[in-house]
Amino acid sequence: MMLKPLPWIYLVLALLGAVLPWQANLEFIAKSGGSGFDLAGFISDATSTAAARSLANDLLIGATAVSIWIWSEGVTTKIKGWWIALLLCFTVSFACGAPFFLFLRERQLRSQESEPAS
């Protein structure tokens, strides 16, 4: 039996994963002169210290592995909207897309649980 609030916890995490990274992105844009997203400056900042490189590499490797899993799991188990989660990973933030996929997956698992056995 799955925890009843679990899908909603994932959805709240997806919302936080959209808002919190973008607050930092908007702060970065403002500090960069507000003329748009300075990708070269962002990469420079993300690799300027050993701690930043550690976090950036950890995120890159983890996000790549989970993105492959989202694609594979979504296709294999026919999760409706799995591709939206992948799109969110690359356009909003990984911290938004991954929990959103878990929300979709939990909803599907619950719907399968409630279906009568054939």
Q: What are phi and psi of 60, to 5 degrees?
A: -60, -50
Compute how many other C-beta atoms are within 10 angstroms of the C-beta atom of residue 39.
8
The per-residue pLDDT for 73 is: 97
The structure tokens listed for 42 are 């962002």
Mean pLDDT of 59-74: 97
The structure tokens listed for 117 are 């056995």
Q: Are 18 and 85 in contact (CB under 8 A)?
A: no
- What's this model's pTM, rounded to 2 decimal places? 0.88
How long is the chain? 118
d(CA 88, CA 77): 19
The per-residue pLDDT for 2 is: 56
- Helix 39-46 to helix 6-31 angle (10° resolution) is 110
The per-residue pLDDT for 34 is: 76
| pLDDT, tens digit (0-9, with 9 covering 90-100), for 81-105 | 999 999 999 999 999 999 999 999 9
